[in-house]
Every structure is written in structure tokens, then in C-alpha cells.
């Protein structure tokens, strides 16, 4: 695939970049000319992703404001102000490969999912928006999910905690888009369908096969499918696009 240098001169920070969709996004942003900061909870995965995309790989727990502040300071020391923030890190705990039902979910599990999936986006945006305001440009892309808007049927895909955070990111995206538009900063979200990653492989093969059959385009997604949308939304072609949530789902759960 030929990549145009749409992101030349831009610094992009991707959370959860150690594997899966985040790694795909980091790779494609680098291929399009961005200087990329790879953030991951696992120090080895962060270092490996950083080495691959030619930028710093920084270990950070997105749910911890102090860890996020330290990671952003290190990123800025290495590359300068961040232009593109991709809030991708997320968790979706299963119970023995099954959906986490509310009566089997303790408060600590609920809190952890909110802390990673929602607080993580807040922590990074809060820390990096002042730099974007300083340069008068910026793009934030949040990783929501089709789980934000739809009941999947009785699939063991996720729990109410996960769906709540992904719906929360829709409100976060729209409100922040309104607030930051006057500063030249766009804020959008992606709602992936079923994407083939380690997170997805937590479910039984027959589940993924059923989804494939229900998907008009006839296959599960690849990280590159989501990465292409992240590049579009954070690049110059989307300069008049903000406050949007775009499905990348092959038509599955199109509504």
C-alpha cells in the first residue's frame, strides 16, 4: 500500500500502541510521515512498538494521571508539542470467555474499566490540549465502539461496564469538539465493529463466525481498517470534520 505523507511535520501520540488496533494506527501514522509516540501499559510492548515506528515507546498506565503527566512530559521532551492524540487504550474483561454480567461484576471491575477506557481519554486530553491551543492546531481521535449504541444479541462479547465507557466517549467527543473547535482542534471518534486483535480473540470462534456472517462486507475488520480512519480523521483531509462518530464495521450494527 502506498501511503501519502499526509502527516509530515506532525507529532502523534497513540495509547495502547503495543498491539492490536493501536499498533496498527501507530504504524500507519508513521508511514504517513508523523513522528509517533507509542504508549502502552506493558514496558516491553511499548519499547518494541516505539522501535518499530521510530519514536519513543513509553510505558504508562492511562488511568493514572501522574503516569500520564510523566509520559506526556517525556514525549514533549523527545518530539515537542503533540498535534495528534489517539485515545485507543481500552479493556474489555470477560468472565471465563463469557460476557461479564452485572450480578457477577464487582465494583472494582466496574471502576477499572471506567478508569482505563474513560479516565484514560480524559487524562491525556487534559494534559495535551494546552499544547494544542498553543500551536493553534490539533486532532483528537477517541476509540469508541459499536457497543456504544447497540445490543449485540446474546453474544459473550462484553459487559455493561465496557458499553457504558464507549457510550461515554461519544459524549466526551461531541462536547470536547464544541469546546475546542474555536482553537482549531478537531475531536472525533471511531466506532469499530469486530476487529481481529488479541482483545477479540477472547471470544469463542463461533461467535466471530456469526458476526462475520452478519457483516455485509463479509469479513471481520483488520487493525489497518481502523488505522485508515484514524489517519483520515487526524489528517488534513478531515480539517472540516469534528464531533463525529464514524463506524468502521463493514456494515455490521449499522442501525
Residues that bind ligand NAP (CB under 6 A): 15-16, 18-22, 40-42, 45, 60-63, 88-92, 116, 143, 145, 192, 194-195, 197-200
Q: How far is the CB of 143 from ligand NAP (least distance, A)?
A: 4
Measured at the CA of 41, the angle between CA 36 and CA 42, to 5 degrees, comes to: 95
In whole angstroms, give the CA distance from residue 242 to residue 181.
8
CA distance linking residue 40 with residue 59, whole number of Å: 5
Based on CB atoms, which residue is closest to ligand NAP, 52 or 137? 52
Closest CB to ligand NAP among 16 and 57?
16
Cα–Cα–Cα angle for 12, 13, 16, rounded to 5 degrees: 140
What is the smallest separation between the CB atom of 205 and ligand NAP, expressed in angstroms? Answer: 14
Q: List the catalytic residue out of 162, 185, 197, 234.
A: 162
Nearer to ligand NAP, 78 or 199 (CB): 199
Shortest Å, Cβ 147 to ligand NAP: 7
Task: Find the shortest distance in angstroms from Cβ 229 to ligand NAP.
Answer: 12
Between residues 4 and 219, which has the closer beta carbon with respect to ligand NAP?
Answer: 219
**What is the C-alpha to C-alpha distance for residues 72 and 78, in angstroms, rounded to an integer?**
10
Of 92 and 215, nearer to ligand NAP (C-beta) is 92
Helix axes 65-79, 120-135, angle to 10 degrees: 30
- In degrees rounded to 5, what are phi and psi of residue 39? -110, 130
Beta strands 35-40 and 138-143 are unpaired
Residue 248 C-beta: closest distance to ligand NAP, Å:
9
Catalytic residue status for 216: no
**Can you tell me the distance from the alpha carbon of 249 to that of 191, in angstroms, rounded to the nearest whole number?**
8
Residue 112 has, within 13 A of its CA and on its CB side, a CA count of 10
**Active site positions, annotated:** 162
Amino acid at each position: 500500500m502506498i501511503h501519502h505523507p499526509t502527516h509530515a511535520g506532525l507529532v502523534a501520540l497513540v495509547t495502547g500502541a503495543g498491539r492490536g488496533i493501536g499498533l496498527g494506527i501507530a504504524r500507519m501514522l508513521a508511514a504517513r510521515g508523523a513522528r509517533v509516540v507509542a504508549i502502552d501499559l506493558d514496558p516491553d510492548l511499548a519499547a518494541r512498538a516505539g522501535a518499530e515506528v521510530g519514536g519513543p515507546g513509553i510505558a504508562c498506565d492511562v488511568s493514572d494521571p501522574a503516569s500520564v503527566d510523566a509520559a506526556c512530559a517525556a514525549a514533549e521532551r523527545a518530539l515537542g508539542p503533540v498535534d495528534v492524540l489517539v485515545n485507543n487504550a481500552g479493556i474489555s474483561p470477560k468472565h471465563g470467555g463469557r460476557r461479564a454480567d452485572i450480578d457477577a461484576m464487582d465494583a472494582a471491575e466496574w471502576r477499572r474499566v471506567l478508569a482505563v477506557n474513560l479516565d484514560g481519554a480524559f487524562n491525556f486530553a487534559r494534559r495535551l490540549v494546552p499544547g494544542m491551543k498553543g500551536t493553534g492546531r490539533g486532532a483528537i481521535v477517541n476509540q469508541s465502539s459499536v457497543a456504544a449504541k447497540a445490543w449485540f444479541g446474546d453474544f459473550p462479547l462484553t459487559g455493561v461496564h465496557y458499553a457504558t465507557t464507549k457510550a461515554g466517549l461519544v459524549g466526551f467527543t461531541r462536547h470536547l469538539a464544541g469546546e475546542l473547535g474555536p482553537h482549531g482542534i478537531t475531536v472525533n471518534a471511531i466506532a469499530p465493529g469486530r476487529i481481529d486483535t488479541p482483545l477479540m480473540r477472547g471470544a469463542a470462534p463461533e461467535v466471530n463466525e456469526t458476526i462475520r456472517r452478519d457483516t455485509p462486507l463479509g469479513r471481520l475488520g483488520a487493525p489497518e481498517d481502523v488505522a485508515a480512519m484514524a489517519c483520515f480523521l487526524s489528517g488534513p483531509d478531515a480539517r472540516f470534520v469534528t464531533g463525529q462518530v464514524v463506524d468502521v464495521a463493514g456494515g455490521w450494527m449499522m442501525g
